[in-house]
Amino acid sequence: MSTKHKIILDVDPGHDDAMAILLAYKSPAIDLLAITTVAGNQTLEKTTLNTRRVCTVAGITDVPIAAGCDRPLVRPQTIADDIHGESGLDGPRFPEPTVPLDPRHAVDLIIELLMKSDGDITLVPTGPLTNIAMAMRQEPRIIQKIKHISLMGGAYGFGNVTPSAEFNIYADAEAARIVFESGVPITMVGLDLTHQAVATPEVVERIRALNTPVSEMSVALLQFFASTYKKRQGFDAPPVHDPCAVAWVIDPAIMQTKHVRVDIEIHAEFSYGRTVCDLFGDSPRPANALVATKLDFGRFWGIMLDALKQYK
Ligand code: RIB
Ligand code: CA
């Protein structure tokens, strides 16, 4: 009987998405069933190519990679090239990808895996929630089949793409609203948590010391990420957001959470994409998410390094 957590990772690489893939694939606590891609940090074409690039370097050849939605449900597409660069994964030099793309659409693959499951699959979206929302609309029966959603997105403090909104939610707030109102148990790993998961120079040197192709790629990714986060948002070390959503699945005790009501703003001019987190329990609406607040920094980088050490 496997005690591994079965997950589907939905990504928009993205430097931190790449680190989430590396963590999920080698963590002993995770059974990575599929990687699905979505438009987000860059276009779908680029996020999908980047996923294949990372998996090629990492030797991840036994996990299906399926491309999903190429635009948000309603709003115009927005990208984060100011942080992730023109390719969406600037920094490392990549070989031509050899890992193939699964011919199925990501939404169809998500539905297929969930419908044939025993209800034991956790979805881990680390980009806009377009694929997840589309799957819920295309096949509502999956709602009862999703064990949990651990997502990177939102914030109860400041946003990062507007003062109110975090990128993954802002890039498709209508999709986020569908997901947060679905009734599926959610862990919201937002900026309040992920801004604690910074790749300090000491952490980067621990990764560099592994001296493998994956560690070399990771260092190049983190160095570029550090440069844009310093330039754009004044960070001394870059917040590595997306692996935090995987880390909660691996070890929920790695972060403190609070079960609260979260509503997604989709109408307001200045706060579109805001995750309105009712931390004080005043809302008449039922709590729908575990909102992450405090990270065990040492344990987080410990599981990350343990996973990176598994790549040869
Ligand atoms: O706001 C941070 C999130 O937006 C991360 O998932 C990053 O990869 C981008 O998608
Ligand atoms: Ca991402």
Q: Read off the pLDDT of residues 99-128 as tens digits, 9 standing for 90 and up.
A: 999 999 999 999 999 999 999 999 999 999
60-101 pLDDT, tens digit each: 999 999 999 999 999 999 999 999 999 999 999 999 999 999
Residues with Cβ within 8 Å of 302's Cβ and at least 6 positions away in sequence, in order, are: none
What distance in angstroms lies between residue 15's CA and the mean position of ligand 2's atoms? 8
Residues with Cβ within 8 Å of 12's Cβ and at least 6 positions away in sequence, in order, are: 37, 38, 39, 40, 41, 42, 47, 88, 126, 127, 128
Strands (E), 82-207: 121-125, 146-152, 186-189
Give the pLDDT confidence score for residue 2 in this predicted structure: 61
Q: How far apart are CA 205 and CA 226, in angstroms?
A: 14
CATH number of 5-308: 3.90.245.10
Name residue 34's beta-bridge partners.
Answer: 8
- pTM, rounded to two decimals: 0.98
Return the residue whose CA atom lies nearest to atom 8 of ligand 1. 14
Number of alpha helices (DSSP H) and beta strands (DSSP E) in the chain: 12, 9
Q: Tally Cβ neighbours within 10 Å of residue 183.
A: 11
Give the pLDDT confidence score for residue 3 in this predicted structure: 84
Residue 15 is inside which H or E element, if any? helix 15-26
278-291 pLDDT, tens digit each: 999 999 999 999 99
Q: Tally Cβ neighbours within 10 Å of residue 305.
A: 16
Average pLDDT, whole number, for the chain?
Answer: 97
Helices within 29-96 (DSSP H only)? 44-58, 81-84
Q: Is the pLDDT of residue 29 over 80?
A: yes
What distance in angstroms lies between residue 285's CA and the mean position of ligand 1's atoms? 28
How much is the average pLDDT of 135-140?
98
Q: How far apart are CA 234 and CA 299, in angstroms?
A: 25
Q: Which of 10, 12, 16, 108 is an active site residue?
A: 12
Residues having CB within 6 Å of any atom of ligand 1: 12, 14, 16-17, 40-41, 80, 126-127, 152, 160, 166-168, 241-242
Tell which one of 167, 221, 232, 275 to mutate to probe ligand 1, the residue whose CB is within 8 A of the most ligand atoms. Answer: 167
40 Cα nearest atom in ligand 1: 10
Residue 26 identity? K
What distance in angstroms lies between residue 171's CA and the mean position of ligand 1's atoms? 10
Residue 91 identity? G
Q: Where are the domains of the chain?
A: 5-308
Active-site residue, 108 included = no
